[in-house]
Structure formats: C-alpha cells, structure tokens
Amino acid sequence: MGFDAPAMVSELHAPWVVLPDVPPPDNLQEALEELYCRYAFSVDQNDMMLLKSSYSEDIAGGFAPVGNLSGREQVIGTLKNFRHLAPYWQHFAEVVRFEEEPDGQHVKLIVARIIPERPVDEAGNTVYGAHYQLRARKTSTGQWQFCWTDYRPGWFTEHSLPEFDIGNATA
C-alpha cells in the first residue's frame, strides 16, 4: 500500500497488554502516574479498548475542544471520532499535585501538560501549557480509573500550580 507496517500496535504491544496481570502500584503517586500514562498511551495510539480501562462507567467532565461529555460510551465514542482529526497529538504530561479524599476511594489530581518546544521559561522554571483537573476512583481490583476530567489550556509554572476545581466543567 506504499507505507511500512507500524513498528508498534497498541492492541498488541502496549505494556498493559503484554503484562496484563501486573498489579497496580501500591504507592499512590506511582499508581496515579501509571493511570495517566495508560490514558495518554491509549489516546496517542488510538487504542479505545485500553482507554476504556482508564475511565469509569460514569466518567464526566469537560473535553475541550469538543465540549462537556458524560458516560464512558459518549466520552470514548467522541474521543475516537475526534482523534481521527488529530492523529499526531501527543500527551506529554506529569502529575504535579494530588490529594486523597477522606473516603479512601477517591483522589483529586492535577496533571500538567508539558510542551516539548517550551519546557522551561526564561528563568529556567518548569513551565506547562495546560492542565487536567482530574478525579480518580479506586476499583474493587485496586486499579484506578478517572471519573471526572476537565482539560484547561493556559500557561503556568511549577511555582504557580492551579488550585483544585473538581466538578466544574469548562469545555
């Protein structure tokens, strides 16, 4: 067909497929980092079955630029359609803040988008070009899934992290 076969196919080669029985990390920060990596890998590779494992059934929130969405089917269906329009986007980011909720089953977190072309400002501070306001829920298997998300563009530094604003969809 005029092009080389892909070097990697997420549905065959993703770490979560190759090693399906690895338990989630015990350390909460590592578990949240793994959750974001699973989400980003699935979106960047257009692997909607892997994305399913990142979202709870009742996922809701703001999905800029497509709008506010709710329910796993609506969210994944919309992201799948949208991803076809933007196949080269990459979701470089890191967990910069998290806070456990009193129920022991939920965590709110902020994941900051790294812009590879501008990772630091003129003073050498780490700078981010956007962030996710996220809430995750622990499943009965110990795995974490996002149950709330809101993507917010806007620059900030490692010294001026956004405050939590969970539940306020801005898309």
Q: For the segment 52-107, what is each residue's pLDDT rounded down to a tens digit?
A: 999 999 999 999 889 999 999 999 999 999 888 877 778 999 999 999 999 999 99
Confidence at residue 132, expressed as pLDDT on a 0 to 100 scale: 97
Which pTM was predicted? 0.92
Q: What is the rounded average pLDDT of the residues 8-19? A: 91
Distance CA 94, CA 33 (A): 7
Residue 163 has φ and ψ, to the nearest 5°, of -80, 160
**What is the tens place of the pLDDT at every residue in 14-55?**
999 999 989 999 999 999 999 999 999 999 999 999 999 999
Confidence at residue 1, expressed as pLDDT on a 0 to 100 scale: 62
Largest CA distance in the chain: 56
Nearest C-alpha neighbor of 36 from the set 112, 126, 99, 118: 112
More confident residue, 3 or 1: 3
